[in-house]
Structure 1
Amino acid sequence: MSIPTVVFLDAGSLPLPLPLSFATPVAYEPHDTTRPEEVASRIARADVVVTNKVRLTREQLHDAPRLGLVVVAAAGTDNVDLDAAKALGIAVRNVPDYGTDSVAEHVIAALLMSRRSLAVYAQAAVDGRWSASPHFCWHGPAIRGVGGALLGVVGRGRIGEATARLARGLGMRVLYARSPNRPPADDERELDDLLAEADAVTLHVPLTPRTRHLIDARRLALMKPTATLINTGRGALVDAAALVHALRSGALGGAALDVLDTEPPPPSHPLLAEGIPNLLVTPHVAWASEPAQANLASAVEDIVERHLSLERS
């Protein structure tokens, strides 16, 4: 029996390497990154493919006759043609809960930073504005409270619930957007009603044709002018141009984004422009706490090992 080949197409996206401490030999081929034109050749003889964000199309999967498993080293599977994989008998596994706490903590950190305008105040401390103040302090943008404020959670999955738990610990009230896939609960509201009522809104839904630009110009206009929008889900959940307009016009109090609709974004991306008030953008790192990275590496290894054990038996 030949040694199985495990190919990781974008191993450089994970700061921690996969342990892959299997009892039986495995030919492991990690690639720092893989361009679209390189995918077919790199998976052609693979038994297992690990990918974080590299896309796998129907044609590429079809031309990998030995492939039995695709592991998405992330919570979602939107970068794999699932219908094609099913038709070809290729199992697709992901790791949905490795970074739940990490993302929830990032949401709360971003919420506090945005509501308290910490970036502006930190800059004022070193750029001369504080030193030039006639008082012991320097006053700038509004510092909005968190305790007692209402957090609207859109997406009642693991991360949404974990975020709500942390928010309640800060004294926030929490309501959820009503899901069309379950009976309504007393703590849920229709999305439009939730947006109008909440002091902060955090997005935790997958990107689908139905949720693309879920937060568009119409829905941004429903939000309070003091409200904060937080997105750690998928960038395309939010209409970027509409969000820029809402922030620049003062129609929205602030936004904290860990994801954009194109990643990595071009320098000309509208949400990377200078001078957008009270906008915090981080480079898709909400998931990347050290405990979450370790959880992810261990989970991917377990999935691969179980698959190869079944293949050997």
Structure 2
Amino acid sequence: MRAVFLDADTLGNWQGKSHQPLADLTPLAECFDDFDVYGLTKPEEVLERCKDADVVITNKVVLDGETLKQLPQLKVIQLAATGMNNIDLEAAKELDIKCFNVADYSTFAVAQLTLQFMLNFATRACEHYQLTAQGAWQKSRMFTLTDFPIMELEGKTLALIGYGNIGKKVEQLAQAFGMKVIVANIPGRPMRDNQVTLDEALPQADFVSLHCPLTDETKDLLNKDFFHQMKSTAYVINTARGPVINEQDLAIALKNKVIAGAGLDVLSVEPPSLNNPLLASDIPNIAITPHIAWASHEAKQRLIQGMADNMKELS
């Protein structure tokens, strides 16, 4: 069986070219007779690289219906991810191409960054570190330097939007810090016993953390009206999907101090364009990381092993 991995660079360091721990593709490679690995693949390169493959592995490379129709040998698509929105699943089904993903490999890593955002907004550790790096503490007239307000997470309320495995892990970690956790219902979905409405959740939340998929119900869920229901002292955390937030509305809400801040690991377009409103220099109290929540070394190895396990089930 011949396989091709179209964008292995999305797993970070797999060729030993950086200081990151090496991502070991061996468990996956051992599943195939031939295994071709490409760092990245441009759209115009997809057909040539996939034409003789029984299995195509991709993270973000798009495989649309027209492409799949031109790959008669293809039997399996393995996503190096959980989300499958870059695959034409209906076309794959019609062509009898099996599609697999890997779920839950990054649960703790995503929850960890979620708490990191909340902790930094509570302690302003990054800002205080920068003061020291700039020499401000060295010039302080006393032993301490607290130029940014510090608060405790103890007793604060966290509203979760999305309550799958990641949401539940975030709840567990937040409760370890003494936080109160509530689960908000997504409008248009059935209300569960453990949920409250958004109208009830938002006015009492000190943090709102997103852990929901991108669907018709959740696209632009966080908009002008949403932010105006929140406390002016509250923060938004997004480690889910960028388009769940209306970015223009969030930029305006931050500039007008409608809410206190935002921690984002995802944006609507990635990599972002230079004119993304949230990247403007005048947006206050925003922390943006480049889609790293999933990317712990441990999570990458779980992902690789999960893909290998899927392939072993085929044999």
Decide: shared fold, TM above 0.5: yes
Alpha carbons of 1:75 and 1:276: their partners in 2 closer, same or farther (altered >3 Å)? same
Residue number among 219, 234, 238 corresponding to 2:241 in the alignment: 234
Whole-Å separation in 2 of the counterparts to 1:211 and 1:24: 38
**C-alpha deviation, 1:44, in angstroms:** 2.2
Q: Which has the higher mean CA deviation after the structures are superposed, 44-53 or 115-124?
A: 115-124
Long gaps (5+) in structure 1: none
Q: For 1:287-306, what per-residue CA distance to the aligned partner results, in whole angstroms no more than 9, with x for missing partners?
A: 11121111111111111222
In the alignment, structure 1 residue 184 sits paired with structure 2 residue 192: yes
Tell me the TM-score normalised to structure 1 length: 0.91
Whole-Å separation in 2 of the counterparts to 1:118 and 1:221: 28
Long gaps (5+) in structure 2: 13-22
Alpha carbons of 1:289 and 1:9: their partners in 2 closer, same or farther (altered >3 Å)? same
Partner of 1:128: 135
Partner of 1:246: 253
- The 5 Å alignment of 1:47-126 reads 47-126=54-133
Q: Is the 8 A contact 2:221 2:245 kept in 1?
A: yes
**C-alpha deviation, 1:25, in angstroms:** 5.0
Aligned length: 304
Partner of 2:168: 161
Partner of 1:9: 6
Whole-Å separation in 1 of the counterparts to 2:29 and 2:269: 36
Q: Is the 8 A contact 2:266 2:291 kept in 1?
A: yes
In the alignment, structure 1 residue 215 sits paired with structure 2 residue 212: no
Q: What SS does structure 1 have at the residue aligned with 2:86? A: coil
Q: Is the 8 A contact 1:114 1:280 kept in 2?
A: no
**C-alpha deviation, 1:73, in angstroms:** 1.1
Q: Is the 8 A contact 2:31 2:312 kept in 1?
A: no
Q: What SS does structure 2 have at the residue aligned with 1:255? A: strand
CA-based RMSD: 1.8
Whole-Å separation in 2 of the counterparts to 1:6 and 1:205: 32
**C-alpha deviation, 1:271, in angstroms:** 2.0
Tell me the TM-score normalised to structure 2 length: 0.91
Whole-Å separation in 2 of the counterparts to 1:196 and 1:69: 47
Whole-Å separation in 1 of the counterparts to 2:4 and 2:199: 44
Partner of 1:30: 37
Q: Is the 8 A contact 2:2 2:32 kept in 1?
A: no
Whole-Å separation in 2 of the counterparts to 1:53 and 1:169: 35
Whole-Å separation in 2 of the counterparts to 1:182 and 1:60: 38
Counterpart of 2:136, as a letter, is R
Counterpart of 1:184, as a letter, is R
Whole-Å separation in 2 of the counterparts to 1:73 and 1:23: 16
Counterpart of 1:285, as a letter, is I
